[in-house]
Chain A
Amino acid sequence: MSILNTIPEPSRWSRIKKSKIGYSFRSNPVAVVSMCIFVCITIMALLAPLIAPFDPYDPAQIDIMNSEYPPVWIDGADPQFLFGTDDQGRDLWSTILYGTRLSLMIGLCAVTLQAVIGISIGLISGYVGGRLDSLLMRLADIQLSFSTLMVAIIFLAVAQAMFGSELFSRYAIYFLIAVIGVSEWPQYARTVRATVLAEKKKEYVDSARVLGFGPLRIMVRHILPNSLSPIFVISTVQVANAIISEASLSFLGLGMPPSQPSLGSLISSGFDYIFSGSWWITAIPGVVLVVLVLVINLLGDWLRDVLNPKLHKG
């Protein structure tokens, strides 16, 4: 009954909406800067083998005699090591590049795993309803009542004890992805279930049912595409969380081994030398981690504002 009626209802995934996202993005400097930084970090991390002057995984390139050189802007630095070296004599710049790559990869894979488990459970739970819904949601509640870190610590500690450090180190990346992925699925399941419950009441779902379509088709082809916005939003937050979880676990010595350091294990390995003056081993990867997580969260905030239908005004 107002001007709103004359303007097409905002519906996602459309040309108009795309331009709306584009417009909102362009007019939001925080989002633009965050996106630039995120893209820079990601590209550098992905191209790590090409950019990095050294290969931190190659023991032949590591000389213990080079250990604990400070970054170039401090007296006593060796100019071939931009950010200095760590306690084992690895070039910190190269190690950070490789570490960021690992952290991002673990974060993304873990979130993909979470999303697959969480979205399937959320869809089924919301669409089928009844007892199954109650059962699955109580499972999610139980899962949520344990902190992710606690579950991960127990699981990883047991795994480490069972398989031995050697084997564990070799497969640490898979263990991390699995444990972070499995322990955070309820976030997705709950969000998806809530949107499914809202979407299920809409007439297009009834219409699909009257046309005789099966539940699987309705869930995947009709409801899921309309539940994507909240999934996008929590995905950004979850990627940031997963990166932090990985860093925390590695910091506690339950994650990536020192021979293949992620950002977390780098921070951890430098921690012992903080008081001996080699603060950069901890500080520089720390700054990278904080910046990475911050820009992802800022992008997530922006995305949430854009995709929130309640904030749309004609």
Chain B
Amino acid sequence: MSLLSVRDLTVKFAMRDGNVTALNQVSFDLARGERLGIVGESGAGKSITGFSLMNLLSSPGYIADGTIQFQGQDIVNLPDAKMRNIRGNRMAMIFQDPMVTLNPVLTIGQQMVETLKAHRRLSKAEAEQIAIMKLRQVYIPSPEERLMQYPHELSGGMRQRIVIAIVLLLDPELIIADEPTTALDVTIQADIMELLLELCQSAKVGLILITHDLGVVSQMTDRTLVMYAGRIIEAGSTREIINDPQHPYTQGLINALPQQTAPGQRLKQIPGSMPSLTAVPKGCPFEPRCAFATDVCRSTPPEIVRHAHVEVACHEVNRLHAPQQEGQSA
């Protein structure tokens, strides 16, 4: 049984002038201990996917259709009290800004003990012991002192480590990390990513890593979903997708990276920009920016189908595939 199984998840936002579909029939599975990357640009729906999984969507957003099964239990219609028990306890979320998780007026120790006591029957001393152990696990020097400190006394990288320690407190089976290092510097980012990878591998924790950075996904994950305008357009093993992308958008995204072009030359850009969710084309959402679009693309949205090593949602994947692949390795 997979850890998480999402089927046809559709999220809508009730707006003044009608509903906006933010997620359109998203389906994927996550095995125990597997690391899944969700890649896409802003507005692609990757963060909304994360929020839906945690059942944290707030008005005007709502799950219009589909199921989310966490260890065989459907969590879409779970009562709040039961969901709170799962959230934090068995699945946890790391946000881009650590201050979303940390309360500025409580010390690190208070917050960690509080989290533990909310879910476990523990004395304060026992809870502190666990907290110190977890802080050690995320390589925080002198953890006993950190317990007394307030979040503002720590640097950004340190705060994100503490958030990871808090997330680990209850030994969750699934961690959803939403752009966990976007606000951090590259050297710190590399440290945090290495730490997350190590923790997930050693404790067999499932990880959903939401990011816009293909490099990070490539280093961190086993499988990748590429999202565009609220849909999954390509899914498969990370290696396959990076080395041999099938969907024209994924290809474009990888080819647009500066590493893929000789210095000083024009980058291979994708024209245009992602459609706003209020104006998604009725056919393939990528069709207006796609060089291979045909009449079918303009009229019918493509189904996601198996092609080569991956699953891809593109009508023209057979036609465009063969000659495109030269000059990919840079």
Contact = CB atoms under 8 A, between A and B. Distances in A.
Interface of A: 1-3, 5-7, 23, 313-314
A314 to B, nearest CB: 7
B69 interface: no
Interface residues of B, number: 19
A313 B274 CA distance: 22
Nearest to A8: B276
Contacts of B277: 3, 6
A3 B13 CA distance: 9
A3 B61 contact: yes
A5 B42 contact: yes
A5 B43 contact: yes
Interface of B: 13, 15-16, 20, 22, 42-43, 46-48, 60-61, 96, 178-179, 274, 276-278
Given A6-B278, A7-B278, A314-B13, A1 B61 contact: no
B58 to A, nearest CB: 9
Given A1-B178, A3-B61, A23 B22 contact: no
A133 to B, nearest CB: 27
A183 B47 CA distance: 52
Contacts of B46: 1
A23 B13 CA distance: 19
A5 B96 CA distance: 16
Contacts, number: 30
Given A6-B276, A6-B278, A1 B96 contact: yes
Contact of B276 (A1, A2, A7, A313): A7
Given A3-B48, A6-B276, A7-B278, 11 more contacts: A1-B47, A3-B13, A3-B22, A3-B43, A3-B277, A5-B42, A6-B43, A23-B16, A313-B60, A314-B15, A314-B60
28 contacts: A1-B42, A1-B46, A1-B96, A1-B178, A1-B179, A2-B47, A2-B48, A3-B13, A3-B20, A3-B22, A3-B43, A3-B48, A3-B61, A3-B277, A5-B42, A5-B43, A6-B42, A6-B43, A6-B274, A6-B276, A6-B277, A6-B278, A7-B276, A7-B278, A313-B60, A314-B13, A314-B15, A314-B60
A313 B15 CA distance: 10
A7 B274 CA distance: 12
Contacts of A313: 60
Contacts of B22: 3
Nearest to B276: A6
A23 B17 CA distance: 11
Nearest to B11: A3
A17 to B, nearest CB: 13
Most chain B Cβ neighbours within 10 Å, of A2, A23, A313, A314: A2
Nearest to A19: B16
Nearest to B59: A313
Contacts of B178: 1
The 3 closest A-B pairs by CB, nearest first: A6-B43, A6-B276, A1-B47
